[in-house]
């Protein structure tokens, strides 16, 4: 427990500082998740108990009739393990408990958690829960310098506090320009897989373009817009051909709004 913050150097050689989530916030998030799962588990047991084949209590527990028991075990495993796995991957490293506590799981390189990392991290919950009540995980998080449990160490992940985007009292000229054009991040639908493929390199390119958007001469801006569009559009499944420069500009500015949520932070 020597470090409250960690500096992460991304593959693009950009240094980002994160505040590490400690035992307290992680435990609180876990309790919230467990309360939610407890409700789901109880409801699942009730449904399986009363609905499957209309079996009575005695029939359900008969040694010779193991199908309902097998279905119950598989269903509960999928619910309890799949909840953490799916939420952390598809919701930016956040379960409901983590979201309420303002923490999230990320890769050690600062990027969003990958499918494989989420799978490994949550599969090893089985070991982290030993011998009971997540005792091993608690001990490791408490003593590890970066508050990691075994699943984090093997998967190459780290749990950090959310970093809120900067809030400005007055809108910048670029924000005014975006508002005047009537643009919002909902103007482009990018699926989760595609969004995760856009890293710090793409963010730096888009943010640099946006920061210079109103400063460079129109002719130079048109040329820069076309070059960046031809570079980025294929990555998000868009075609830059036969589109006006104005439409290309609007699309790049919307992409800037989308990526800004993920990459522009402050502690």
- Is a pLDDT exceeding 70 seen at residue 183? yes
pLDDT > 50? residue 235: yes
Give whichever of 9-13, 50-54, 58-62, 133-137 has the largest mean pLDDT. Answer: 133-137
Angle at 126 (CA atoms; ends 124, 128), nearest 5 degrees: 70
Identify the band that residue 264 occupies on the pLDDT scale cut at 50, 70 and 90: low
Q: How many Å apart are CA 50 and CA 44, to the nearest integer?
A: 10
Least confident range from 177-186, 194-203, 227-236, 256-265: namely 256-265
Residue the block writes with tokens 């991304």: 10
User: Which run of H or of E encompasses 19?
Assistant: strand 15-19
Query: For residue 261, what pLDDT is reported?
Result: 74
Q: How many CA atoms lie within 13 A of 69 on its CB side?
A: 10
The mean-pLDDT minimum among 54-63, 103-112, 164-173 falls in 54-63
pLDDT confidence bin for 189, thresholds 50/70/90: confident
CA–CA dist 94, 88 (Å, integer): 5
Of 63-72, 185-194, 251-260, which range is least confident?
A: 63-72
Higher pLDDT, 6 or 53: 6
Comparing 54 with 163, the larger pLDDT belongs to: 163
2 has a pLDDT exceeding 60:
no
Question: Which ranges constitute the DSSP H helices of 111-244?
Answer: 115-123, 125-128, 135-143, 150-155, 173-180, 192-197, 200-212, 218-232
Which residue in the block uniquely carries the two structure tokens 């990555």?
235
pTM above 0.75, yes or no: no
Report domain extents, the chain. Answer: 5-161, 173-263
Res 118: pLDDT = 93
| Burial (0-12, 13-18, 19+ Cβ within 10 Å), 121 | buried
> Is the confidence at residue 267, as pLDDT, over 50?
no
């Amino acid at each position: 427990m020597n470090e409250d913050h960690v500096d992460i150097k991304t593959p693009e050689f950009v240094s980002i500082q994160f505040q590490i989530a400690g035992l307290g916030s992680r435990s609180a998030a876990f309790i919230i998740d467990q309360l939610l799962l407890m409700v789901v588990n109880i409801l699942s047991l009730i449904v399986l108990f009363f609905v499957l084949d209309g079996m009575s209590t005695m029939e359900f527990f008969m040694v010779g009739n193991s199908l309902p028991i097998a279905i119950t075990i598989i269903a509960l495993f999928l619910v309890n393990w799949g909840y953490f796995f799916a939420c952390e991957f598809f919701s930016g490293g956040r379960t409901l408990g983590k979201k309420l506590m303002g923490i999230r799981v990320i890769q050690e390189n600062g990027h969003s958690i990958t499918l494989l990392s989420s799978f490994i991290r949550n599969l090893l919950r089985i070991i982290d829960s030993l011998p009971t009540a997540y005792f091993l995980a608690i001990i490791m998080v408490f003593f590890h310098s970066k508050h990691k449990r075994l699943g984090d160490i093997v998967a190459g992940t780290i749990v950090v506090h959310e970093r809120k985007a900067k809030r400005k009292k007055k809108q910048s000229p670029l924000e005014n320009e975006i508002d005047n054009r009537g643009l919002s991040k909902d103007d482009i639908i990018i699926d989760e897989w595609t969004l995760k493929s856009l890293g710090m390199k793409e963010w730096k390119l888009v943010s640099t373009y946006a920061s210079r958007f109103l400063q460079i001469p129109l002719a130079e801006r048109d040329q820069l817009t076309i070059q960046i569009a031809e570079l980025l559009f294929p990555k998000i499944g868009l075609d830059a051909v036969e589109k006006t420069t104005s439409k290309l500009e609007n699309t790049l500015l919307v992409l800037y709004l989308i990526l800004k949520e993920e990459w522009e932070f402050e502690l």
